[in-house]
Structures are given as C-alpha cells and as structure tokens.
C-alpha cells in the first residue's frame, strides 16, 4: 500500500507543463531567435526531415509536429529549422524539477517537460495560487522558459487545467465547475482519449466530455473495456491517482529509435542502425544496473504505417551481442521489404540485477567479475567520448551526434535528485 495516501484530506495538485519546450530552450540559449518562427527537426537538411516541435510563432503559420520540413517551409518560408540538442533540454529539465522539489518532496516527473507536484501540505509558501505564480515566475526569470500550470484536486483535472492557457497560463479546475469548464469541450480534447478512442466514442454519439460524463457505464465498458469506466470517472472529475515520486523508478523497458535520413531498403544500413540502437540501449541498461527478458522492435514504413513485434526470452540479457542478434532476427522475420523511415529497439520486462541474481560457482565467478569490470570501463569511456570510444579517440567522427535519436523511455527523470 502506498505511503502517500491521505484519504480524508482534499488534495491540491499542480501539473506543470513547459510551453513549446525544445523551441523555448533554444530561444533561451540564443535570444536572437526570440519572436521568430522556429522548429526542431531530426534532419533539418533533409526534405523528409520531421518536425519534432515548433515555437508559437511557427504554429501560428500552420507548422505542426510530425509535419515534414518541406511542408512546414511551404507554409512558413522564413521558418528557422534547428537540430535537437537533447543534452541542452535535459539540463534545463533538471533545473526545472529541482525548483519543484524545493517546494515539496512530492514531485513526479512524467516526461522531460512536464510533471506533477502535490502541495496539499505546503503551508509556509503562500496560497496555492501564490505558490504556482512564484514557481512560474522563477522558471521564467532564472531559465527564461515559459510554463503553464493547472491546479486541481487530482492529476487528471490538473493536466486538463495546464492545457487551457498557453503560454504562461495558470488555471484552477474545480469539480463543481466542470459542467461549465470541462464538459463543453470536444471529446478529442480530453486527456487520455486518442484518435481511435475518440472515433469509437463518436460512433455511439459521444461528442463532448459532457456526453461522456453522462454516458451509460455498461455501454462504455462494452466499447472500451475497463478504460471506458475509467474515462467516464475522469470526465466526472474522479481520479484517485497520487503524486508518486517513486513512479520514475518503475520503468519496465528501455529503448531507442532513430529516423533515417531517407527511406531505405538497404539491409546493410539497417543492420548498422540496429547495432547502434542496441549499443545505446545496453549502455543505459548497464548504467541503471538492470537486465531484461523481452526484446521489441518497431518498424515505421515510408507510408507511416508502424508495427511493433516482440519476443519473450528464456533468460535475462544485458549484453549488446545478445540484443543485436535477437533484434536482427525479429526484424528479418517481420520486415515486408518496403522502404523504412524509422527503426526502434527496446528491451522490456526490466528488472534490477540485484533482484534477479546470477547463479555463479567458484570456477565462473572470476571470469564474470572480469567481464563486469571491462563493461564498466567501456561504459565510462562511451559516456565520456561517445559510442565506440576507442575508435572515437583515433578519429573525430561526429556523424552520430548529428543524427536524430529519440528515447522511448524516461530513465533520466531522476536527474534532478542527484
């Protein structure tokens, strides 16, 4: 049972959502970009590069996430397209969550640019609205980054509140006001309702959040399973999830994906990419001292059709060779030979090494210990000089740094505690 439960006290929860985070960080880093339409894209030079995020100035011209660079520039010829700098974004995120943790220890990051805090028991820093205003002002003054904050008695309403006013909004969501504030919104605007779920709900004449709040729970469960009842509860402002600082440690998978510079069917290039992705995953697993018992690949084709396929393993793995072998076999078995635009490799069913244990006898212990020390040394060099550190010392090749990579997971979200 969670230690955080306070069933008799009305909670006060904030959802802090950074506004156009990547673009805002770039503008804070280079003030000359302020007020200009900018976008972050994986491959800015490539015709098929994909927009990751954009500034509000760019959005006003119609630039949207997942749009190709050439489409975005057609809408906004003056668009400034930048490559992502994840280390810069990660550093900014760390400082933001440190500020939150100075208000309360009940901080739950959910991504690099958003998180929850529970200020129910914070009585020495003003009213909740004053705490929110001070936090928003501090992030803006010290980091030059705008954010929106939702204030509510639960996570769902706090999240909906932070989405109401952007940039630099503070919104209070009260249960008694839901018929006026939440229910008139289109069902597509409800957090937790994706495109396919929205289509299903519309098929039974649920077009607004209010329609969902009043819908028959049996019909919803027939349509969406247990999620139907959960969504109805949320629409009525019911959500008993707590702000859990330990949730960041409950990740069950670690993975990486990469968008290719151009769609390809080149088997050699694909296998090289699988090797690179596997190395990234293994480095992160070893840094976290975890092992995994399932491997998944993701293939996104030229037409954006995406498939994921996985294999459950008999034994836990944490070695690159094992991951490359299994991921390659999965790919070969499931690839339909059409051009690929993105690949992903993920290790699932993660467990801490200390909880799994390895059966060692006196004859194998020394050998395993040597391998572990070698792995640690290689990992330290890899973190300092990049992957394949020994070659990097001989040849300064930064091509890999210029390629767009996306982390599926959130295993860096405890940075602010260190």
Catalytic residues: 114
Angle separating helix axes 320-334 and 267-288, nearest 10 degrees: 140
Nearest to 49 by CA among 57, 59, 39: 39
Contact 209, 191 (CB under 8 A): no
CA pair distance 149, 14, nearest whole angstrom: 6
Q: Which residue has the tokens 């440690």?
A: 249
Other C-beta atoms lying within 10 Å of the C-beta of residue 51: 22
Other C-beta atoms lying within 10 Å of the C-beta of residue 311: 15
Contact 343, 260 (CB under 8 A): yes
CA pair distance 305, 236, nearest whole angstrom: 35
Does 17 carry a binding-site annotation?
yes
Q: What is the strand order of the sheet 340-352 is part of?
A: 306-317, 290-301, 340-352, 253-264, 405-407
Return binding residues for Mg(2+).
17, 113
Return binding residues.
17, 113
């Amino acid at each position: 049972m969670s230690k955080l439960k306070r069933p008799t006290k009305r909670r006060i929860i904030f959802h802090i959502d950074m506004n156009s985070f990547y673009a805002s960080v770039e503008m804070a880093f280079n003030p000359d970009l302020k007020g200009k339409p900018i976008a972050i894209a994986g491959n800015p030079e490539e015709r098929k590069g994909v927009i990751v995020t954009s500034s509000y100035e760019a959005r006003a011209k119609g630039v949207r996430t997942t749009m190709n660079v050439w489409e975005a520039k057609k809408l906004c010829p003056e668009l400034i397209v930048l490559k992502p700098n994840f280390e810069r974004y990660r550093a900014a995120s760390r400082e933001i969550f440190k500020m939150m943790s100075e208000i309360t220890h009940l901080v739950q990051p959910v991504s690099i640019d958003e998180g929850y805090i529970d200020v129910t028991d914070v009585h020495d820093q003003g009213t909740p609205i004053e705490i929110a205003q001070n936090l928003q002002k501090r992030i803006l003054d010290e980091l030059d980054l705008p954010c929106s904050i939702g204030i509510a008695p639960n996570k769902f309403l706090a999240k909906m509140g932070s989405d109401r006013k952007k940039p630099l909004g503070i919104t209070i969501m009260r249960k008694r006001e839901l018929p006026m504030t939440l229910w008139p919104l289109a069902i597509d605007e409800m957090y937790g309702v994706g495109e396919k779920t929205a289509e299903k709900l519309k098929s039974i004449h649920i077009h607004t959040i209010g329609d969902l709040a009043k819908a028959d729970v049996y019909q919803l469960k027939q349509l969406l399973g247990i999620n139907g009842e959960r969504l109805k509860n949320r629409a009525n402002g019911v959500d008993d999830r707590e702000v859990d600082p330990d949730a960041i440690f409950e990740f069950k998978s670690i993975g990486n994906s990469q968008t290719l510079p151009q769609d390809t069917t080149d088997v050699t290039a694909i296998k090289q990419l699988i090797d690179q992705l596997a190395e990234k995953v293994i480095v992160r697993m070893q840094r976290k001292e975890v092992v995994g018992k399932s491997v998944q690949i993701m293939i996104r084709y030229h037409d954006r059709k995406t498939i994921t396929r996985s294999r459950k393993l008999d034994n836990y793995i944490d070695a690159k060779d094992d991951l490359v072998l299994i991921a390659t076999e999965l790919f070969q078995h499931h690839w339909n030979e059409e051009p690929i635009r993105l690949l992903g490799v993920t290790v699932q069913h993660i467990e801490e090494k200390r909880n799994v244990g390895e059966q060692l006898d006196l004859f194998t212990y020394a050998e395993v210990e040597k391998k572990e020390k070698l792995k640690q040394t290689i990992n330290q060099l890899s973190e300092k000089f990049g992957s394949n550190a020994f070659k990097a010392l001989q040849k300064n090749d930064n091509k890999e740094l210029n390629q767009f990579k996306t982390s599926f997971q959130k295993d860096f979200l405890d940075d602010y505690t260190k």
